[in-house]
């Protein structure tokens, strides 16, 4: 994921170190995808010392929300349905 992010930043003339904040959509999507997204965002937020924000959907005032979010506060995944890990499948 970091390689893809680095490549994307390069295409827009930026570097990963130029990221000023991150927002992750949580509560919608697959269990594993949500976990991976929150873990990567929290790791980047910690290493870059930037704010990270959990959102339900993108909004017009996302930059304002990020500017009001303190650094050092990390997010947790929320799931759209109960996890099915360890649940036996009914045949």
Ranges of each domain in the chain: 20-81
Instruction: Indicate the pLDDT class of residue 27, thresholds 50, 70 and 90.
Output: confident
DSSP states of 20-86: --EEEE-SSS-HHHHHHHHHHHHHHHHHHT--EEEESS--TTHHHHHHTSPTT-------SS---TT
| pLDDT score of 86 | 72
pTM reported for the whole predicted model: 0.79
For 55-88, what is each residue's pLDDT tens digit? 987 778 888 988 899 899 899 887 777 767 777 7
């Amino acid at each position: 994921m970091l390689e893809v992010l680095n490549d994307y930043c390069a295409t827009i003339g930026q570097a990963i170190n130029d990221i000023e904040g991150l927002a992750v959509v949580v509560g919608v999507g697959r269990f594993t995808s949500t976990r991976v997204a929150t873990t990567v965002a929290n790791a980047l937020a910690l290493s870059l010392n930037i704010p990270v924000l959990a959102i339900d959907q993108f909004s017009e005032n996302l930059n304002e929300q990020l500017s009001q979010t303190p650094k050092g506060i990390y997010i947790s995944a929320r799931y759209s349905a109960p996890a099915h890990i360890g649940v036996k499948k009914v045949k």
